Amino acid sequence: MGNQAIEGLSSEIPQSILQTFYCPISKEIMKDPVMTADGHSYERPNIEKWLKNNDKSPLTGEVLTNKSLIPNHSLRSTIQEFLTKNPVIKEQLDIQESIQANQDLGQQAQHYKEEQWKKTIEENEKLKEQIKKAEEQLEREKAFHQQELQRQAAAAAQAQPQENPQSEIKTVFQELLKKTECVRGCGGCTYCKKIQELKTKYNIPSMNKDLIIGNATDFSYLDLSGLDFSKSHPKGATFYGCNLDNCTFIEGCLCGFDVRNASVKNCVFKDVYQISMDKVKGADFTGSNFGEKQAEMLKKLREGGAKYDE
């Protein structure tokens, strides 16, 4: 309630005294007046709030010597006595106080709502950050899991026996050796056809087609090392570029036996008496044994363009 509340009232108290009932800050009649160091009185909550951020008098602007507050009991008693004698004003003050209290309560409620909303927003931001971190962790775990699967797959692949096409063909050829005539490479039996199929499957090259006679199977570029030809007669067979190291051969096998550019190291030739000199060029017979005809055969091999390191 402002100064208008008591202006014009018939009272024994002079107007100059009545004006002191009002807080200079709020312009409302005081209920708990206190004095500052400069002797001016204010409503306690108002001056306490002021002094939190100021060291000057709100009325004069002068710097206060200290921020101590002294209860003004005399003024408080005078105000209470005045209100007792003027119940209408007291009632108006009570109504105003109730309204102010409701306003304060509304402000508090609004402040509470704002604080709660702010808190909700902050919690949502924290939740978003937690979700983001969880997603990042999930991505890291996913990447690690994929790497682990790849590692396991690689390990499993290494653990499995590697496919060896030459070994597979060599096994078939060993069966072929049991068929004496077929070692010539007939081209039509089950074993010859199987060998040709495997060569095609594994892209094992063959010698130039113009060097292949008839339908004979082309045994070129195979690894046939260590096999025993002693019960077979591969006369006329094509072993161009093969690995024939450590094999055993019998009489007549070098007649028409095409071993150009083949490795025929450390082989044993039993009773060999003839060599097709046009079929040994580029072959390496280092370490091979021709028995009693060693010198004679080596001479022919060299003349045919083969290699032999004594």
Q: pLDDT at position 191, please?
A: 77
Fold of 3-85: Herpes Virus-1 (3.30.40)
pLDDT single digits (tens) 11-59? 556 677 778 899 999 888 999 999 999 999 999 999 999 999 999 999 9
Least confident of 35-49, 209-223, 249-263, 272-286: 209-223
Name the more confident of 232 and 76.
76
Spans of all domains in the chain: 3-85, 165-303
pLDDT single digits (tens) 225-236? 988 877 766 666
- Judge whether 197 and 212 are in contact, CB under 8 Å: no
Three-state secondary structure call for residue 263: strand
| pTM score, whole prediction | 0.47
Q: pLDDT-derived band of residue 252, with 50, 70 and 90 as boundaries?
A: low
CA–CA separation, 61 vs 52, rounded Å? 15
304, 310, 273, 262: which is closest to 288 by C-alpha? 310
Q: pLDDT at position 70, please?
A: 95
Amino acid at 34: V
Across the range 212-235, mean pLDDT stands at: 73
Strands (E), the chain: 33-35, 41-43, 70-71, 248-249, 268-269
Taking phi over 0 as left and psi of -120 to 50 as alpha, with beta for the rest, 12 belongs to alpha
Quick count: other Cβ atoms within 10 Å of Cβ 159?
7
